[in-house]
Amino acid sequence: MPPPAGIDFTAYEKLRLGIHYEGPEAQPQMRLFLRNFDASYSKTGDSTSLKVNEINFDPTQHQQPLEMLMSHFTVASWWSSSRQVPIEKSGVEFNNISTIEISTGGNVVAGKHLIVIDSLEFEGKMLTASQLRLILLGAWMLAVVLYLLIDLLPLRRGGILAKRRRLSLKKVNDSQHTQNKTFEKLAYHDPLTDVLNRNGLAQELSNLSDRLDTRFFPLSLIFFDVDHFKEINDQHGHSAGDQVLREIASVIKNHIQRDDLLARWGGEEFLLICPHTQRHEAVLIANRLREIVFDHEWPLGLHVTGSFGVAEVAPDEDFTVGIERADKAMYRAKQNGRNRVEEEAE
């Protein structure tokens, strides 16, 4: 039986949702799910295996229609924790959306709830930024080739011709090298915070494993999350939320070891990988970072804190399993009051 043929939404940048709510909740919490099918983790006929890309919102707090950036979607933690998903597939994916769902939040007041969807529109560019760069690069290189042909044909063969050709080719190669570096950074770094994204983290781990094998163990993971981040977005706007994410990434990056790897895991979640670090040492590092975040002077007079979870990965253990344990420890930190560090369960 062929897999579901969904819709590719990767070229879209935002969506507009016209929604009307009537019910007993003064500030209802809604969730919009874009569920993606991928053969590496989904099974045909099993709707629960579709990846849950979600965004939470209050339809009464914003002007209609609501505008949502596709970059603000995250993979639902409750779905990730119940699935063995390869690390390269653990981020949000919109390339094969098979189901779009809207539901109420987790804690729903009993009563009659009426949700009316007036419209759902997706907006994007005909060309993505990377596609446009490739087209411009191709056009530029074609112009260079044409220029070389026109410029070199009248010249006599000899030393001058050879020298010009070498210089021209060097400029083309240097330019192509610079463009390749730019494309590589776009592919492996989060554009908002300029730290590694999940693809970049997977690549760095692969390089580290190939180079050092088991000699970078003991290795510990620190999973941390910005506390009450949704309230920052709701009260001060997404631009303030983006500023907090950029600044917390910069603060953490300035206070870690050179060999440590920092990546934005999704939304307001970050993952720090610490080679040559035992779990008790990682707990001390996490507490130091928590205090630095707590004492930092944040924009708009905000008081920002973070919840941290720590786990140690064994040399023969799958990184995905270790990340899940660090993630669960972070959620215990949130449940126990936030602005604290919790270790993995023994």
Give the residue numbers marked as catalytic. Answer: 268
Q: CA–CA separation, 78 vs 304, rounded Å?
A: 25
Q: CA–CA separation, 161 vs 166, rounded Å?
A: 9
* 3-class state of residue 95 by DSSP: coil
Can you point out the beta strands (E) in the chain? 12-22, 30-36, 51-57, 66-69, 74-75, 97-104, 114-124, 219-226, 261-266, 269-275, 306-313, 341-343
Paired tokens of 40? 């590496």
Strand 341-343 to strand 306-313: parallel, antiparallel, or no bridges (unpaired)?
Answer: parallel
**CA angle, 163 as apex, 162 and 164 as ends, to 5°?**
95
Tally Cβ neighbours within 10 Å of residue 173: 10
Q: CA–CA separation, 335 vs 329, rounded Å?
A: 10
Strand 66-69 to strand 219-226: parallel, antiparallel, or no bridges (unpaired)?
Answer: unpaired
Radius of gyration of the chain (CA): 24
Distances from the Cα of 289 to the Cαs of 127, 254, 270, in angstroms? 40, 10, 13
Concatenating the DSSP letter of every residue in 139-173 gives HHHHHHHHHHHHHHTTSPSSHHHHHHHHHHHHHHH
Distances from the Cα of 187 to the Cαs of 16, 70, 298, in angstroms? 27, 17, 29
